Structures are given as C-alpha cells and as structure tokens.
Chain A
Amino acid sequence: MYGRVVTEPSPQKQRHIALILAKDLAANVASAMLLVDRQGDLVFFNEAAERILGRPYAEAQMSTAELAKTFKPVDGDGAPIPIDGLPMAHAFRDGVPTHGHMRIEAVDGHVRDLEVVAVPLFAQPDNLVGGVAVFWERAEGS
C-alpha cells in the first residue's frame, strides 16, 4: 500500500526548523528581534528586545492579542493600531516583508517610538511557519 496517511498524525512538539534557526539568529545578534509562530503568537524575543519592551521574555509569553493589549501600539497620530493593522499581520496577509511605525507603552512605563520590519517565514512557497520582526527606536525628530 502506498499513499498518504489519512489518520491524524501525533501532535508535533517541535518547532519548525526555520523558527529554530531564526531563534538561534535572534539570540546571537544585538538588534531587537521577536518571533511569532504561524498563528501569530509570540514565541520568543531576544535581550535587545527586552530592553525596548521593558520585560524579559520569560515573563512575556502571550498571544498576539495579549501582546497588543499589553503594549498598546498607536500610530503617529496617537490612534490605536488594531491587531490586524500591525506590521506582522500585514506581512502574514500579503506574504511579503512589511515596514511600520508605531509608538508603544513599554512595561517599564516608557513610551517608545519604534520602526518595525516584519518578515513572514515561509519554509516553502505555500508553507508559512511563522514570522520575525526586527525593531528599533526612532531617533528623535525623524
């Protein structure tokens, strides 16, 4: 008998290799980076991101909805950015890297003005496995 298995495979415990590699990269660079899984849920951010977000990753594991609620992203005019308006949501929807600008309220109480580039991670052209966002504080007056 040759063919695809029709029964449900056992649930996966391991992240896709593309996410594992992205986490390795994030853990070894000085740029602030965060990773989300294919559902858009936060799965990791690095030490540089901790400095901007004001909280260690171990204390910050949460869904995208919780993430947005916690950091209260707003646009340049101060209007709240809905979850589906965040750069990662655009990147997932359009399948291309997306740039955005937002202000967030970090957990340490500071308001930070950020540039964000969100990149969808495709293991294959039709297989989205997650995404990575690189972000940095805007220089004053920019």
Chain B
Amino acid sequence: MKKFIIISLLTVVSLPLLACAGIGTFNYYLFNLYDNDEFAYRMERITSNNWKVYMGLNEDDWFWFSEEKVTEAAKQKNDALMQSYVHQLARYLKICDDVQGDQWEYPTKEELAKRRTTLEAIRAYANTKLRTRLRSQHGLLYMRANMLLGNHADNVKFWEETASQYINSVYKDMMYNIYAGALYKTGRTDEGVDIFVEQGDYRSLMTIYYKRRSYAAINDVYNANPKARVLPFLLQDFVNNAQEADDAVKYESFGGKLFIRDITKDEAKQMIALCKRAVSEQKTDAPAMWQTAQAWLEYMFADKKQALSDIQKAVTMEGSERMQDCARVIRLYIEASMRKQDTDFDNWAGAEMQWLYNKGNRANPKPNTSYFERSSYYDNAFERIVQQVMADKYQTTRPEVTVALYKVQGFYGCQEYLDTTTIANVQQYEAYLTGAAKTEMDRFLKNAIRQQPQQDEADADNEYNDLIGTKYLRLCQWDKAIEWLSKVPIAFYQNRGYALYAALRRTSVEPWIERQFLRDAEYYSEGARRLYESPKLVFAKQMQQMEYGMNMLQGKSRYQRCYDLAVRYAQVNFSGDCWFIMRDAKSPGWDEVRPNEVDLAARALDYLREAAQTTDPQLKERALFALSYGELQPKGLWASLEWNSEKADYDRIPQRNSSQWKAFASLIDFERQNPAGIARYVSRCDEYDTFLKAYRK
C-alpha cells in the first residue's frame, strides 16, 4: 500500500536533467486585477473560428487565412458577396504586410501612391456594401482602410453615426477598437483609453502609456479622475514593475520581462503615499485595489508590519471580485510569511490554501489543455506561495508537509526531495499520508493528493522498495539494500530508461583504462537491453561479499581487493559508466555528491591509496595511474582553464598543489624506476602526455 510515490517512469528519468533548464524563482505577479486575455489574440481566435465554420472545418483544424481557399468555399456556396469581400480583404492584408517593412524591396514613391490608391479603392468598395448582409465585415474593412489612410476623423464619424448601430459581433468589437484608436489619434485620448481598458487591449494601452508609467504620471491620472478606468492597468503595471525590481535584488534575476522599468525605493514610497491618499479621499470606487497596492509595496520596500496591518484592512474593502481575491491572495502571502508555524497557523493557512486551490484550475483540471492554459492567476499565486512561503515554513518543523505541498503543486522538487532525503523522512512522509489529519492544512493536502491520478498499486510498491533499497546502496549499507532490493522484480528494471546501460555495462571494468561506450547498433537493439538479473541487487551482493571479507585478507590479495573495490566504487560514482546503480539519470556537469549518500569517488581514492602500497609493480602502476584519474577528483585537476582571447583558445594554468598534480607526479616518479617499463595504457594516455610537458617546464 505504498501508493504515495506516484512517480511516472519518465518523470524520474528526466529528474536530474531539469537542473540544466534552471529553476525558476516562481515570482508570479500577485498583484493582478484582471485576466490578461489580450484583445488581439481573442479577436484572432474568434475570427478564425468563424472562418472555420464558414468553410466547414472542424474546431480543432488548423486554419490560416487564404484567399484562394475561402473563395473556393464561397464559390461552392454561390456566395458572390463573400467572394468579393474576401478578395478586397486579401488586398488589404497584402498592404498590411507591405507596411511592416520587413522586405528587402523598399517601396518607391510610385508604389506608395499605388498603395494609397488601392486603399482608397477598398474603402470605396466597402462603402457600397454597408447595406448588405455582410455589413459588419464591410464596415470593418472600411474602417481598416481609413486607419491606414490616416482618415481617423472619418472613422470617428463612421462609428458614431453608423457602426455603433450594428448588431454585436466580433467585427463590431474590432470596429470599436479602431474607433478607440481614432479617438486617441484625434486627441480624445481619455475616451480612447477607456475603450481599450473595456476591451482588454493591453498592447494599445502599453503603447499609449509606455513612457507614462511612473508615480508622477499615475498621480496625474488620479488627480484628473480618481475613477479613471485606466488606473487598475497603470497601478498593476507599477506594482509589478516594483516587484521585478525587488525580485532582482533578492534573486538576482536578469533579463526581466517586456516593458519593464526600474522602480526606485523612493518612487515606491511616493506611490504608497498616493495609495493612502486615494483610500482616505474616498473618491475611488475601488479602495481594495489601492489598499492592496499600498500593502504590497510596503511589504516589498518599506515596513512589513505595516503591510500586514494594511492588507488585513484591504480584504474588507470594496472593489471588484477580482480585486478582493487579489487582496486575499496577498494577505495570505504576507501573513503566512510573518506568522510562526503552529497549530493555529496550520488551521488558518490550510483553509486559505484550500480556498486558493479551489479557485485555480488544479482542482478542476480541463482535459487537453497546455500547462500555460491551465495556469490561471490563482494557480500561479498558489505556486508562488508554496515555493516562497509555505515550503520554507514547514521545512524544519514538519518536512512531510513541505513534500505534500510540493506534491499538490505538481513541483518536481517533491520527487527530488524523496530521492535525496533520509530514509526516515521518506517513511515519515508515508506515515503522514496514511495517518489521520490533525489540522486544516493536513486535511487540505490529503484531500488534494487523493484527488490526483493514482498509480497502479504494484508499481507503487516496486518504486518504493527500489527507492529505499537504492538509498541504502548510496549509504553503502549492503545488507539493508539487499533486504529491500530483493523485493523488486527484474521486470521493474527492464522498464527503466537505463535498462540498456544496465544490460551492457559492467562494474568490474577499470574506468581509467577502458570507457564503456555503447555502439550505435546497441541503441536500437531490443535484444541488447534484455536484463537477466537485477543490476542493483547483484551489485549489492557483490560488494557485501567483497567488503565483508576484507579483514581476512592480507598482503598482495588485500591490495588487489582494495583495487577491485576501487574500480567498483568509481564505476557506480555519478561520473562512472555504471551511474545507474545509484541514480536514475545522469547530468554531466551538474552531478555532485548529494545529501544522504557516501562520497563514492572519495572511497575509491581511499582504496586506491591503500592498493598503491603494494610491492607488486603491475598493481602499483595501475593504482597510481588510477589515482591520477580526473573523474575522481573534479575539483583537484592538475590544470585550470583560462580563456585567452588573443589565441581564441583556453590556456592551461598548472595547479601544482592539486591532488591530480601530486598523483601524476607520483606516477612519473614510479615510472622512472619501473623495471618493466611504462605500461601501454599509461604511455598512450593523452592527459598523461600533456601533463608530462607541463611538468618538465
């Protein structure tokens, strides 16, 4: 009944590889007052669906406007009006492409004049079709042509006198949007902006306000009209930019997001004062928005205690439902950050997390949706609160809660934690999930995990036994490892991503002399990956037998055993060819000794040092050669690399105190007196050769 480790094979195999992708800081914006369903995308989606319906395509079919294809569909329907509309629309779209200016052929004066003539012809054509059944489409075409011709006043007039009377449709929405732009172009900025806000056209708003996003500019907007509809957009932009600046300090993020601007501490304080004024003047109908902005800025820049007091007031204030939700989310973040973890906290935070979880898509996942489509404001806020507040809060006091939070969030760190934590912690987590809930937090987490897709019971048991067994392997506790790994069938390993490596590689091969690269043919051969025994169990038994008999050995046979053990430790180290004994995946350049595992390379070096005491020249030469193997001492290499821009190549800078330098030097001393001469594997080693040249300088 070890169902809790719901780790899919693919997830496990890809786990350590995620390190290459970097870990995000989860700094989703918490101050978020509206859903960002950008107008342009929304329009494109709807018009595209309209075309699909017209052409008899399915909703899931791919569609890209093609004059030819739409005309063909129109012909089949004997729809002459649509044919002429599509033709004119295509002419208009061609001009739009030309205006983009990304072609090598820059237009001549004549071409520009021709472009204008074409636009005037389109406009005139559309004007004659305003009483047809496609009046909305033609009205839109008329306004589009006007827009490119710069006839903004005409567009204002057309909308106010004609198009505003049309029935509601996506075309009317687009005309309304062009009307807003025309208002802006003709100096009626505030009216235009209100429409952009109403339509969620944030691109246009950003174009208009790009250079007016400072405290001073927002103060001006507020003073002119405390209920200006653009204020939520401007305030959200300011507060989130402030967060970026704050995050940059905390997390050293770089690059930033589009439209970012630095907010200084002084400017943030000025904005806090404006927020206070807006609430106290009572001229706004959304005090919750101002109070929340104030609290969040205070939390980031000024006074956390004051922030807590202010956010607690914000949740009781008036505002849209989203503004009130936003206040509640930020209260959860601030209050949870500042309160001590105890039973009271668990009950309060558990209920709040349950609320936030239910608001997001995680609780009600929609099928066939991408990660981004699933991620609403509430999902992102949940993720941020787990990552930046809750996980740390429980890490030391109740680590099993942290793991459960990661699990509910869907964070891969949950698997990573289970993979690297102590055996006791894994068992504690199991007990937590199967035991009775004591607080609201427990109840929330258990219910949420229970609602997640469950794994087959036998698979879950195998994964659990393999996990515990592997943890004992990493601690070199062979008896315990054998006890757990004996319960895992070979078929389990046959299905692991590393089965091919396990089938073809041997832990007895000296890695400093022979690398076990796989041949191309083996990659594609089903037969090659067949396992006949459990690789981990076999290894554990072999090591148990070899190490437990050590005390009985003396002299040459003991030195030989030391060497043989060193070979095996080096092979199952993360840099060895048999890494799969200890880990599920390999990430070159990122792997290192993790918590709760023995440093296998260090143990290999210890054994090699003992083996090098032998008087047998052949074994001594092998041991000394092995001691200079770089993979066992990545931090003690004999030379460091420094980029030489003049040579456009790396220079090797000798590190004479490094462990590898000393090992190579010992090998050279030995070879000078080696009666049998230098072994072929030494003389053919390019690294040895390079070292010799540096050593003799």
Pairing of A with B: no
